[in-house]
């Protein structure tokens, strides 16, 4: 009797066979994706001879496709067996890499494949985020989401470097083949995941209603998440250019490696806080840390002009703070949405969560491009203001709304 008290109950085990397999599937999915993130602009320039503005248009087709499919993928994953939806989306995702390798002979074909790829990615990530919740114990959900998110952060840390190394010899076929191999291995691991049966979501009698595709209870939280995503989109798109303009030219690409370290280290801790019931408190702490980092970005050019060495320190410190702040938020924010939804509508909750983020990232790219033509410092100052507004909105509106409407 004494021995059994020290053994974790089977229902509370996190690192099960199925959880390990879906984490590996997520890492390999993200790795195949991040191989292409920094390399596709080079591929488009060298293969089709297009300029930077057209490169941006082509790449944005993927983001638009992801945004379009998010709400519908949540509805589909709640209405049909989630594992089946996941496998179909994963297969189409890998098939897109094969299309780049074999049939993308013209720019029109490449754009068509890119849109198709975005549809598959949007459905796959929405369903994958839901499946991992289905197979983990609810008592360790925050911790489990934290580790699951680490898979994407690790891929973000190593995928771009691997992709740039592969194309250093100009061999784009090897780049796409590497993505096929990574995605194919992920598909194998994903197919081995066993998922408990879930009852289909009850559907309203109305032919069309917003609550079929969005979690209405999550809209206040989505507004805050949207505001937080805008400066993140600005950072991911323009921080390297900002660094170069500020005189930080050596090792500027390490910003994202340091940022990934912050994301990983914070996720490992924040998930455990969430499992202790500190959902809104964890999000609030993450917003404050990220806010300090983005204020540092706004000050970078001024500091670097005064002392470039101090500018380098500030540059990498902001990377760590932004990574740590957002990494603290992610598992807590995901849990917030899940706790607002019944189990049968988890995919819709995830779709609402991810849609707010995707729209904010897209707006951050557009707004950041317009503002940075005037001043990079202005760009990140606006980003800092948005984070402050998000914090005020989260404390004043989202927190009481969550406490009133949460189901668990």
Residues 6 or more apart whose Cβ sits within 8 Å of residue 13 = 137
The pLDDT tens digits of the residues spanning 369-384 come to 788 778 888 889 999 9
- What is the Rg, in whole angstroms, of the alpha carbon atoms belonging to the chain? 21
pLDDT for the residue numbered 268: 75
Mean pLDDT, the chain, rounded, equals: 86
**Is there a single domain that holds both residue 182 and residue 302?**
no
Indicate the pLDDT class of residue 3, thresholds 50, 70 and 90. very low
Location of structure tokens 């897209």: 362
**Structure-block tokens of residue 297:** 């970005």
Helix (H) or strand (E) holding 290: helix 279-306
Predicted confidence (pLDDT) at residue 358 exceeds the cutoff of 80: yes
**Is there a single domain that holds both residue 216 and residue 320?**
yes
**Is there a single domain that holds both residue 227 and residue 263?**
yes
Predicted confidence (pLDDT) at residue 198 exceeds the cutoff of 70: no
pLDDT for the residue numbered 53: 64
Output the CA–CA distances (angstroms, integers) from residue 46 to 102, 109, 167, 331, 400, in the order listed: 17, 16, 11, 39, 53
Inside any domain, residue 70? yes
Inside any domain, residue 204? no
**Is there a single domain that holds both residue 258 and residue 391?**
yes
Can you give the residue range of the structural domain that contains 43? 16-199
- pTM, rounded to two decimals: 0.78
**Is there a single domain that holds both residue 90 and residue 230?**
no
**Coil, strand or helix: which one is 162?**
helix
Indicate the pLDDT class of residue 5, thresholds 50, 70 and 90. very low
Inside any domain, residue 190? yes
pLDDT for the residue numbered 212: 67
Inside any domain, residue 6? no
The pLDDT tens digits of the residues spanning 31-52 come to 999 888 778 878 888 899 887 6
pLDDT for the residue numbered 290: 95
Tally of structural domains, the chain: 2
**Is there a single domain that holds both residue 121 and residue 257?**
no
Q: Which of 137-151, 164-178, 232-246 has the lowest mean pLDDT?
A: 232-246
Nearest to 159 by CA among 295, 257, 24: 257
């Amino acid at each position: 009797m004494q021995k059994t008290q020290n053994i974790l109950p089977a229902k509370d085990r996190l690192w099960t066979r199925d959880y390990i397999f879906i984490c590996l599937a997520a890492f390999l999915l993200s790795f195949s994706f991040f191989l292409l993130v920094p390399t596709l602009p080079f591929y488009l320039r060298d293969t089709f001879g297009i300029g930077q503005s057209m490169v941006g248009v082509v790449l944005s087709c993927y983001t638009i496709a992801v945004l379009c499919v998010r709400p519908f993928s949540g509805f589909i994953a709640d209405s049909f067996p989630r594992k089946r939806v996941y496998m179909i989306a994963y297969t189409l995702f890998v098939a897109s890499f094969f299309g780049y390798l074999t049939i993308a002979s013209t720019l029109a074909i490449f754009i068509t494949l890119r849109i198709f790829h975005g549809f598959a990615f949007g459905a796959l990530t929405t369903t994958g985020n839901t499946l991992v919740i289905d197979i983990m114990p609810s008592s360790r959900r925050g911790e489990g989401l934290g580790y699951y998110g680490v898979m994407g952060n690790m891929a973000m840390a190593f995928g771009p470097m691997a992709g740039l190394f592969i194309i250093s010899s100009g061999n784009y076929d090897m780049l796409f083949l590497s993505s096929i191999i990574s995605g194919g291995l992920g598909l194998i691991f994903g197919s081995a995941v066993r998922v408990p049966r879930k009852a289909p979501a009850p559907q309203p009698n109305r032919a069309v209603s917003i609550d079929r595709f969005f979690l209405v209870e999550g809209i206040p939280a989505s507004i805050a998440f949207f505001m937080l995503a805008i400066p993140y989109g600005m950072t991911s798109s323009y921080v390297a250019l900002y660094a170069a303009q500020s005189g930080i030219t050596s090792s500027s690409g390490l910003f994202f490696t340091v940022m990934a370290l912050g994301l990983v280290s914070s996720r490992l801790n924040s998930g455990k806080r969430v499992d202790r019931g500190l959902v809104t408190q964890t999000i609030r702490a993450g917003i404050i840390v990220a806010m300090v980092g983005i204020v540092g970005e706004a000050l970078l050019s001024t500091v670097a002009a005064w002392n470039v060495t101090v500018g380098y320190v500030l540059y990498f410190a902001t990377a760590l703070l932004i990574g740590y702040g957002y990494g603290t938020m992610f598992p807590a924010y995901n849990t917030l949405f899940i706790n607002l939804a019944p189990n049968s509508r988890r995919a819709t909750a995830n779709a609402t969560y991810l849609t707010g983020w995707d729209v904010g990232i897209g707006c951050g790219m557009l707004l950041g491009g317009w503002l940075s033509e005037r001043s990079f410092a202005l760009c990140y100052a606006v980003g800092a203001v948005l984070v402050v507004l998000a914090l005020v909105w989260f404390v004043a509106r989202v927190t009481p709304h969550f406490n009133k409407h949460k189901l668990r």
